[in-house]
Amino acid sequence: MSQKSIKLISLGLILLAVSCSSGPYGPTNKVYKKQTKELSKTMRAIPVNSTGQDFVGTTNFGLRKPNYVIIHHTAQNSTEQTLKTFTTAKTQVSAHYVIGKDGVIYQMLNDYLRAWHGGAAKWGNLTDINSSSIGIELDNNGFEQFSESQIEGLLTVLSKLKKTHNIPPANFIGHSDIAPGRKVDPNINFPWKKLAENGYGLWPDQVITDSVPESFNPIEALRIIGYDIKNPENAIKSFQLHFVQKELTGILNEEEKQILFNLYKKYL
């Protein structure tokens, strides 16, 4: 399979096309269909007004759209293991997309539905990440390189999401960005620079000539970018994981302060 013809597999669409499928995901596809049907009924129902006033349905509304994309690695040993995890009710975790090492893309949830992928997280003033984001999981045990096919598959998905939902470049971030000290995915091998070159995420200038002013406050800059600075050391490590991709010390050297200052101006 060529990298330019990555096959997009939507588990939801498979269910609609092959509703009587006896494949391995037939039972979970049936559950998906049942749950979305129940959600649809809830949305169509006329709300009960406790004040006794009549319900007046507005004609001006639409679906709540996602505004962030959160990239993860699975920290598991295979795509099949991850799909099993995300189709087992007791795990209480899910994502919208899973991308295998071979570049095959599995869509597991409609973009407008809320996946359970972010956990306890914060980005800027946003604390309910799951309600405004799309979660993408890359098959990777946490230490491996990401294959070229996998990244091409990811770029295919990101192109679709950016166009469909008009997601700003700065809003393509990693799980480690929104959960400093708790998460370290995607791992240090993830090609953030390549993504930024394609319009997904920001990246420091290749040549940084700016001198850092004495008044510059690195921790405040991290906050403005979006990091939770409750624990400054963890925030710095998450910044280093994403934008420096060397040793995670939790302490900024002079070169890293320049990188941070350069990025800080981009996020203003």
Contact 50, 163 (CB under 8 A): no
Q: Which residues contact 58 (CB under 8 A, 6 or more apart)?
A: none
Query: CA separation (Å) from 76 to 35, 55, 84, 130, 153?
Result: 27, 49, 11, 21, 19
Residue closest to 115 by CA, chosen among 175, 59, 155: 175
Classify 234 as helix, strand or coil: helix
Task: Give the mean model confidence (pLDDT) for residues 102-125.
Answer: 97
Task: Give the mean model confidence (pLDDT) for residues 122-141.
Answer: 98
Comparing 76 with 12, the larger pLDDT belongs to: 76
Report the Cα–Cα distance between both ends of the chain, in Å, rounded. Answer: 42
Contact 191, 152 (CB under 8 A): no
Helices 218-225, 254-267: axis angle to 10 degrees equals 40
Task: Give the mean model confidence (pLDDT) for residues 87-108.
Answer: 97
Please say if 137 is a catalytic residue.
yes
Confidence of residue 18 (pLDDT cuts 50, 70, 90): very low
Q: Which residues contact 232 (CB under 8 A, 6 or more apart)?
A: 219, 222
Buried b (16+ CB within 10 A) or exposed e, 192-225: beebbeeebbbbbeeeeeeebeeeeebeebbbbb
What percentage of the chain exceeds 90 in pLDDT? Answer: 82
Per-residue pLDDT tens for 155-164? 999 999 999 9
Determine which one of 80, 137, 152, 256 is catalytic: 137
Buried b (16+ CB within 10 A) or exposed e, 234-249: bbbbbbbbbbbeeebe
- For 166, the token pair is 């008009």
What CATH architecture applies to the domain 3-41+63-197?
3-Layer(aba) Sandwich (3.40)
**Starting from the edge strand earliest in sequence, which strands make up the sheet with 105-107, in order?**
8-10, 105-107, 97-99, 133-138, 68-73, 172-174
Domain boundaries, the chain: 3-41+63-197, 218-267
- For 142, the token pair is 């946490």
Q: Which pTM was predicted? A: 0.90
Classify 173 as helix, strand or coil: strand
What percentage of the chain exceeds 70 in pLDDT? Answer: 90
Q: Which position has the token pair 């091409």?
A: 152
DSSP, res 241? I
Per-residue pLDDT tens for 32-43? 999 999 999 988
